[in-house]
Amino acid sequence: MANQVDTSAPPDKPAKKDRTHWLYIAVIVAVVAGVIVGMLSPDVGKSVGVLGTMFVALIKMMIAPVIFCTIVLGIGSVRKAATVGKVGGLAFLYFLVMSTFALAIGLVVGNLIHPGAGLNLSESTAGKGAELAETAHEAGGLLDFVQGIIPETLFSALTAGSVLQALFVALLVGFALQGMGSAGEPALRAIASLQKLVFKVLVMILWLAPIGAFGAIANVVGQTGWSAVTQLLGLMLAFYITCTIFVFGVLGVILRVVSGVSIFKLVRYLAREYLLIVSTSSSESALPRLIAKMEHLGVERTTVGVVVPTGYSFNLDGTAIYLTMASLFIAGALGDPLSVGEQIGLLVFMIVASKGAAGVTGAGLATLAGGLQAHRPDLLDGVGLIVGIDRFMSEARALTNFSGNAVATILVGSWTYTVDKERVDLVLSGGDPFNELTMVDDDHGVGEPAQDKKVPAPA
């Protein structure tokens, strides 16, 4: 009788409804409406461009707190990962190399296809953009630039609007907490709570994305006509193709050479997780399932427990490709392409600032704005061009990030001899399917041989 009561308890909990699909639909409608208004009435389209500008201002408002929280907590994740020795060290080194490689791929593809070239929207952003550019060039030489990174006070970096100052303070605080050891745990928990608050505000702002997308797209189409639509579609297509090549070409080859595992079989094994990510536009929604499935696949729990959570903060291949390609698109659309030196500087900034952006819808957009503000503030207004298609690109970002973390788990397991290769072959060939019913258990239905598991007696 007691068993019947226990089994009937869970259904009494009402499931929390996910309403983000309405935002997705609203953005689609807003983009289509913006294109129509821009085509039929260019003057009206130009006049509503201020809506996109205001939305970008709201995103800009969130740059400093987003970067501060993610960097501080990211460094905390490295500290925890390092405590397990070889696994943590190899994982962190791999994440750093692959994120840098993904950023470089985005730059190479962007320089080959020249996204945004020909739109020539510099006149529309000459007002505020010119002022920002003038402020940026007042910094002077290298020493003046370095001096400008140091804020007046520890807290002014979060209010002055300087991204590099916020990044500098975040690094100082992160390493300070690292040095404090267990004494710094309360502060880390407080910053984790602050991060939740920051991202909650960011989510609230993102509900205004349809309005910002409508104004930005209507303004651009009103100035350039149909060419703006084709350029945006071209950027989306190029981004999706680049992510596909990266996953099946780069990651697939590395996985086959190092671990002897087929990327196609791994993708099929994680098919349900991919569907979940597409429906939520966030790789974070599939985090518990990825942990469970990697353990079921044959990777030791300690390795999975270090690589997967750390990878969600540091292994952001899809986000890296997006940040570089989107930056090049904005620069090309505004008729002022980034020089090679500026591209390299942007790449270095993104390597650090992008950490922690995975899994949170909208964090990528804030990081993009932060990178432009730090290196080319005259291009910051161009973020409005991306607002309309950012939601459509978020799925590819999340899927690529997720794939990169799944591959990283197997690779690190192979390097540290903490993966059962025979079991990997068995599971991926369908010999031992993943049991959805045991995923909620503490051991996810794995961790001991199947014959040793206790089977509960029927009630």
What is the mean pLDDT of the segment spanning 174-200? 84
**Which residues face 299 on adjacent strands?**
419
Task: For residues 43 and 277, give the distance between their C-alpha atoms in angstroms, rounded to a whole number.
Answer: 39
**Nearest Cα residue to 298 out of 81, 449, 437:** 449
SS3 419: strand
Banded pLDDT at 81 (limits 50, 70, 90) = low
Q: Which residue do the tokens 């639909």 mark?
A: 25
The answer to which of 55-59, 220-224, 445-449 has the lowest mean pLDDT is 445-449
Task: For residues 148 and 145, give the distance between their C-alpha atoms in angstroms, rounded to a whole number.
Answer: 5
- Residue-level pLDDT at 447: 42
Banded pLDDT at 195 (limits 50, 70, 90) = confident
- Residue-level pLDDT at 343: 79
**Nearest Cα residue to 313 out of 75, 12, 18:** 75
pLDDT(83) > 60: no
- What is the average pLDDT score of the chain? 74
Output 455 or 33, whichever has higher pLDDT.
33
Banded pLDDT at 444 (limits 50, 70, 90) = very low
Q: Which residue do the tokens 């869970």 mark?
A: 10
- Residue-level pLDDT at 410: 94
pLDDT tens digits along 153-175? 878 777 776 666 777 888 888 88
**Nearest Cα residue to 119 out of 27, 240, 243, 234:** 234
**Nearest Cα residue to 379 out of 415, 446, 310, 333:** 333
Banded pLDDT at 407 (limits 50, 70, 90) = very high
pLDDT(142) > 50: no
Banded pLDDT at 408 (limits 50, 70, 90) = very high
Please answer whether residues 210 and 26 qualify as being in contact, where contact means their C-beta atoms are separated by less than 8 angstroms: yes
Task: For residues 358 and 61, give the distance between their C-alpha atoms in angstroms, rounded to a whole number.
Answer: 20
Work out the end-to-end distance of the chain between its first and last CA atoms, rounded to an integer number of angstroms.
Answer: 9
pLDDT(360) > 80: no
**Nearest Cα residue to 363 out of 70, 58, 102, 24:** 70
Banded pLDDT at 248 (limits 50, 70, 90) = very high
**Nearest Cα residue to 67 out of 360, 347, 352:** 352
Output 60 or 324, whichever has higher pLDDT.
324
Please answer whether residues 329 and 249 qualify as being in contact, where contact means their C-beta atoms are separated by less than 8 angstroms: no
For residue 232, the 8-state DSSP code is: H
pLDDT tens digits along 266-309? 999 998 888 877 765 567 667 778 888 898 999 988 788 778 87
Cα dihedral angle (231, 28, 195, 76), rounded to 10 degrees? -50
SS3 446: coil
pLDDT tens digits along 88-106? 778 888 888 888 888 888 8
The answer to which of 15-19, 297-301, 455-459 has the lowest mean pLDDT is 455-459
Architecture of the structural domain at 52-226+239-448: Orthogonal Bundle (1.10)
**Nearest Cα residue to 90 out of 401, 251, 307, 353:** 307
Task: For residues 380 and 129, give the distance between their C-alpha atoms in angstroms, rounded to a whole number.
Answer: 7
**Nearest Cα residue to 388 out of 191, 189, 221, 249:** 221
Task: For residues 351 and 71, give the distance between their C-alpha atoms in angstroms, rounded to a whole number.
Answer: 11
Q: How many residues does the chain have?
A: 459
- Residue-level pLDDT at 30: 85
What is the mean pLDDT of the segment spanning 5-18? 49
pLDDT tens digits along 63-79? 778 778 877 876 765 55
Q: For residue 91, how far is the Cα from the chain centroid?
A: 18
Specify the pTM: 0.65
SS3 341: helix
Task: For residues 393 and 29, give the distance between their C-alpha atoms in angstroms, rounded to a whole number.
Answer: 16
- Residue-level pLDDT at 173: 85
CA distance to 250, 329, 369, 420, per residue, from 253 (Å): 5, 29, 33, 20
If you write DSSP's letter for every residue of 81-141 in order, what string do you get? Answer: HHTTTHHHHHHHHHHHHHHHHHHHHHHHHHHHH-TTTT---GGGGHHHHHHHHHHHHTT-S
Please answer whether residues 124 and 330 qualify as being in contact, where contact means their C-beta atoms are separated by less than 8 angstroms: no
Please answer whether residues 163 and 63 qualify as being in contact, where contact means their C-beta atoms are separated by less than 8 angstroms: yes
Task: For residues 409 and 299, give the distance between their C-alpha atoms in angstroms, rounded to a whole number.
Answer: 8
